[in-house]
Homo-oligomer: A and B are copies of this chain.
Amino acid sequence: MSLTMSRVSVPLFVRGLKVLSTLLQKGEEFAAEKGMVPEVLLGARLAEDMLPLSAQVQRASDASKLCVHRLAGGDAPKFPDDETSFQQLQERIAKTIAYLESVAAADVDAGQDKTIQLNWGSFAPTFSGQEYLLSFGLPNFYFHIVTAYDILRNQGVKIGKLDYLGAFDKA
C-alpha cells in the first residue's frame, strides 16, 4: 500500500493517543498507590514555565485534531480544556480518537496540496498540506506525547520506553 496523507496522519495519531491513555492509566495507579492527590500529578511540570501534565494531554488532543481538521476541512469538535481529573482526560482522548476515526481518508488525502497558514504571532509560516503534516503536525503531536511521558517519569511513575513505543501495536 502506497503512502498517503491519511495513512501518515490518522493511524499515527490514534496510536499515540492510545499510548498516552495507557501512560495516564499507569500514572493514575501510581498516584493511588503512593497516596498522592491526583491533581498534584496532573499539575506536575518539568519547568515553571512549561505546561503541566493535564495540559500536555489537552495539547496532544488538539495537535492531532487540528492537524486532521486543517487537512480535511469539515467540522471538528471543540474541547474547552476544562478537564481536571484522570477520568475526564481519558474521555478527552477517547473523543479525540472518535473524531479522528470519523474523518474520511479521501478528505485527509485531498489536503495534500492545500495552502495552510499558521498564525501564532511571530510564527506565521505558510505550508502546503504535505509540508504542514511532515514539518509541523507530526513533530508537534509527538512533542506532547513525549513530554507527558517525561513528566510521569520525572515524577517517579514506573513506566519505560516500551510503554511509549506501544510494544507490539502497529499504526
Chain A interface residues toward B at CB < 8 A: 1-5, 7-8, 11-12, 15-16, 46-47, 50, 112, 123, 125, 127, 130-131, 134-136, 138-140, 142-143, 145-147, 149-150, 153-154, 156, 161-162, 164-171
Contacts and interface: CB of A to CB of B under 8 A. Distances in A.
15 contacts: A3-B5, A3-B7, A15-B139, A46-B150, A47-B154, A123-B168, A127-B170, A138-B138, A139-B142, A139-B165, A140-B165, A142-B143, A142-B146, A143-B149, A150-B150
A132 to B, nearest CB: 9
Nearest to A140: B165
Q: How many copies does the complex hold?
A: 2
A170 B136 CA distance: 8
